[in-house]
Amino acid sequence: MAVYTHVDDRTLKSFLGRYGVGKPVLFKGIAEGVENSNYLLETDQQRLILTLYEKRANPEDLPYFLNMMEHLADAGLPSPRPIRDNEGTALQHLMDRPSCLIEFVPGVSVDVPDEEHCASLGTMLANMHRAFESFTEVRANDLSLSGWQKLAATTSEQAEEVQPGLQREITTEIEFLTDHWPTDLPVGTVHADLFPDNVLFTDHDITGLIDFYFGCTDMFAYDLAVCINAWCFDEKHRFVPEKAKRLVEMYDAARPMSGAEVKALPILCRGAAMRFLLTRLYDWLNPVEGAVVRPKDPLDYLARLKFHQKIKDAAAYVV
């Protein structure tokens, strides 16, 4: 975590008084996420996560994220359920921060997913999108095209320090994306950040989907493109076709994709690579003081972008 808010035992006790969740027997800050303070809390009745939302979270968006999570939990998907207090309120204030007590979901994230992990992900992603069809709230994706343009402008002066020529590569690609970004694909609620560290497994079964704090309304196939980028490259940033094949195949089996969606995969993958290239570049150039989590190398996503630029068509992802 970047910021860490200490919650003392008395404050916790008084906070838990709002709920019928039992007495705390374990309460430990966990090193998870760069945006918030998270505590693992176990009572004599259940296991929970206490999240305190730090500066980077926009408090106005929090009800949307919590409602997303509750909607999925109601649909039987393994999303942690926000816990409502005795008066029915989920979003609280604690230590002068918005905060929420959230159900704990078991499982361990996988650092290097194999093909079967990707297959499980494909099915789960499709089921999540289907479950979101009845979720009616809307939130624009501020990390789509116009967000990339802004980030590119902010980072342009320093991009050359990271790699000569980087600024021009970003500018050229954003021009291309601006001209070709699809506008007619099926849209709904998406996770938009479903990286391996946000998916918990027990063996090859997904037991938890977490970190919905980039959730928004965007093209379903864009969410799949994020996953292709995040799950289907090896440690040297080389594309692993078998993983993408299983991911897309299982996704399509649970939520059949339209021809237009399949055809758009290459440009959606370029856009997704650009999104993570730019946010990583920004974080790289603006490191948070005192952060435990080291900024990730933006160039990992330049390598992916270059792969997506070179492929002939969507068949590359499904062969």
Q: Which residues bind a copy of itself (CB under 8 A)?
A: 1, 4, 8-10, 12, 24-32, 40, 106-112, 202, 290-292
In the complex, the smallest distance separating the C-beta of residue 190 from a copy of itself, rounded to whole angstroms, is: 26
In angstroms, the Cα distances linking 39 to 27, 66, 91, 99 are: 6, 17, 16, 11
Tell me phi and psi for residue 159, to 5 degrees.
Answer: -55, -35
* Closer CB to a copy of itself, 4 or 282, in the complex: 4
DSSP symbol at 319: -
Which pair of structure tokens corresponds to residue 89? 């309120």
Tell me the DSSP string of 261-274: HHHHHHHHHHHHHH
> Distance between CA atoms of 10 and 33, rounded to whole angstroms?
25
Distances (CA, A) of 146 to 127, 149, 175, 209, 223: 29, 5, 11, 28, 17
Q: Tell me if 142 sits within 8 A of 216, measured CB to CB.
A: yes
- Min separation Cβ 56 and a copy of itself, Å: 16
Nearest to a copy of itself of 291, 311 (CB atom): 291
C-alpha 98: how far from chain center: 20
Q: Which residue lies nearer to a copy of itself by CB, 30 or 153?
A: 30
Q: Which one, 31 or 319, has the nearer CB to a copy of itself? A: 31
Q: Which two tokens stand for residue 155?
A: 């980072």
Is the CB of residue 311 less than 8 Å from the CB of residue 238? Answer: no
Taking the least distance from each CB to a copy of itself, the nearer of 4 and 195 is 4
Q: Which is nearer to a copy of itself, 8 or 179 (CB)?
A: 8
**Nearer to a copy of itself by C-beta: 28 or 312?**
28
Smallest gap from Cβ 201 to a copy of itself, in A, equals: 9
Residue 32 C-beta: closest distance to a copy of itself, Å: 7
Alpha carbon 10 to its chain centroid, in Å, reads: 33
Q: Tell me which residue of 91, 190, 206, 79 sits closest to 135, measured CA to CA.
A: 190
Nearer to a copy of itself, 133 or 205 (CB): 205
Alpha helices in 29-101 (DSSP H): 62-74
Least Å distance, CB 292 to a copy of itself, is 5
d(CA 101, CA 94): 11
HSE (side-chain half, CA atoms, 13 Å) at 251: 28
CB of 219 to a copy of itself, least distance (A): 31
**SS3 (DSSP) at 19:** coil
Q: How far is the CB of 239 from a copy of itself (least distance, A)?
A: 21
Tokens of 213: 């704090």
Least CB distance to a copy of itself at residue 218 (A): 30
